[in-house]
Structure 1
Amino acid sequence: MNQEKITAVIAMLREVEEDSCVPKNVKSKISITIKDLETSQEEISIKISRALHALEELTEDNNMQADTRTQIFNIVSTLEIV
């Protein structure tokens, strides 16, 4: 069940990553977060914690549009449930 939610989060992150309005620095951090979530060598709680930290840092980026920030907040909420 947790893996299904992680897979859904990765899909949401990819959607944000593929958006042409998202700044490059945000895309690169999202890409790193996706890779961290996909690795299976660490405990799931560690992966989620790392992803939450990275995404919360992204929400503070001034260059990001409001709708992208809202998408990231939704992803953070989903991760917090896992």
Structure 2
Amino acid sequence: MPKSLFSKDYAVFLEVLIESRKKAGLTQEQLAERLGTTQSVISKCERGERRLDIVELRRWCSAVGIGLLNFIVDFEERLTE
């Protein structure tokens, strides 16, 4: 079984992650500011170099103005397309 970091599912996760930020009209730098981190950390997350745990994902969703459950539903729907 391939590592999930490089799986199709993880690629879809990253797409949803990036789109959530862009739909909120935020740059990586603006999101980083909201999360109290650096643009570099946001970039690494979006490129899949740094994984988010569920707590971090919840904070990310809050910072871009969506609910965690909405994020998960969008992710699941894309996986079944």
After TM superposition, the score normalised by the length of structure 1 is 0.45
Q: Give the number of the structure with larger relative contact order, counting CA–CA contacts within 8 Å between residues 6 or more apart.
A: 1
- When normalised by structure 2's length, the TM-score is 0.45
